[in-house]
Structure 1
Amino acid sequence: MTTAHHALTAQASDPAIDTACRLLRLPTMRARAADTIARAEREGLSYAGFLAELLMAECEDRDRRRAERRIRAAHFPREKSLREFDHTARSYSYAIEQAPFPVTGYLSTLSVHPVPGRAAAARVEWSGSFTPVGVSDADAEELFHGIYTDGLAALLKTTQGWRG
């Protein structure tokens, strides 16, 4: 087996790298090649170090994209983002960015409060704010009241028998 050696000038290398990365389906290496080359020249990175940088970036990006595809393929019912977490206050707030609910601007807060005189007990509050879309305020409130009630019942069932 013979290996072809290409003596490419620096000017010819850029389009060759771009073409090879397209053919081999290496989008991250293609996107980062120029910056990584410049950094390698600046920092005196070895050939192996340069190659390792690009390969690791490609692997990490593929892992990230694979996880994103799996999440999309799972068709989870909503996308949430944590907006605030306060360990001392025992509360957190989250927003639902995309949901099958007829509302926009959904922001919810859960907080846990001690019950005076009952060391092993706690009171959980779950509240939310939103703007109904295509339904009445009462219908939207009823929907979330059911979700909160079911969620708190599931939390109670999960925690029964726990001792603090």
Structure 2
Amino acid sequence: MAKPKAKLETLQDKEILTSELAAIVGKTPQWIRQLTRDKVLNQVSRGKYNLGEAVQAYCEHVSGGKEEEQKPRLIDFKTRYEKTKAEKAELELERIKGNLHAAADVEWLLSDMILTIKTRLLGVPSRVSTECENESADVVESVVRREIETALSAMAKYTPDQIGGDVSHGGPEDS
């Protein structure tokens, strides 16, 4: 009569030592013991692990942990961090190309432009009053129009290259 075959242990059910598990995952035995203390890995007995369970638990740990509703995973933070770095690099590239400007620089340019226009427009009455003394309404109107157009043409001379606080234009660095 033939002997009954001994039940073969499957690979995933095999018990392995700490040093063997460390070699499998490419870490040190100390690292494996730390993961055991952190309850990432579970020993079946002192210094022994179930191969299948240990590898699955380690893979889950490396990928950021279990996907739970309330707890963000490490992989989610890494993904968000990498996405933020990429966005920052894109913005920096646009700034270097001159397509993007700092809000403070734009604010400075607009403030400067508005103050220049305000000064020119407030100066119109004094310039017109001396020039238009004893003149007809048509002459006064044309002089006022000319002065306003002069003030507006100064505004039209502003260009995006003036953004950035160029010292020759009295930028934010001068404040």
Q: Please, what TM-score do these two structures have when normalized by structure 1?
A: 0.30
Could you say which structure has the larger radius of gyration? 2
- Which of the pair has the greater relative contact order for Cα pairs under 8 Å at 6+ separation? 2
